[in-house]
Amino acid sequence: MVKLYIVRHAESQWNPVGRYQGLLDPELSPRGLEQAKKLAEHFKEVELQVVYSSPLKRTMQTALELARPRGLQVVEEGRVIEIDHGLWSGLLVEEVQSRFPEQFRQWMEEPHRVKFEGGESLARVYERVEDFLREVKEKHWGQTVAVVSHTVPIRAMYCALLKVDLSKFWSFGCDNASYSLVHMEKDRNVIIRLNITSHLGDLYVEAHKAL
């Protein structure tokens, strides 16, 4: 079995205002930095053998808090980077709703059909995270692994782990500095914990429903 902790990065500078980040690279907000520390404190008794992270700043800053106390190096992993939002990148949710109303509706109601103009499709994200998960299971059997990623690839991971259609993408909560625990067994994957945020206390902020 592989014990896989799936972690969403702590709050970035753009999360509170509802701005699409995609491959753009804001750092953690002051509250996000505190959330990352709370997360690391909560994980202090967990024996991790490896910490993977998307290469963007908001994920790397979060992952470093988990890795440092253990003397681990964060392994940068491009397959778990955020979806490329294309023309939406850098825009507020309200701006996207105004400028791309039909695609925004599709993103909220039929995400499995979306390919962002100038960017990436959700199906492509699914392919790359599925490939990453397959490799984790092969390389780290018997180990405990953490991966720090973003809301879109994390939800795609849940779909891949459970072999459910991407139309179920929005069925999984994914708050900043949350974690989930998956037991990757020989013939199945079991979600033991999902979107845990109790460690954040008054630092908790509910994720924007469209991000």
Q: Which residues are catalytic?
A: 9, 150
Cα→Cα distances 194→19, 87, 90, 175, 204, Å: 25, 31, 29, 10, 15
- Cα(53)–Cα(148) distance, rounded to whole angstroms? 5
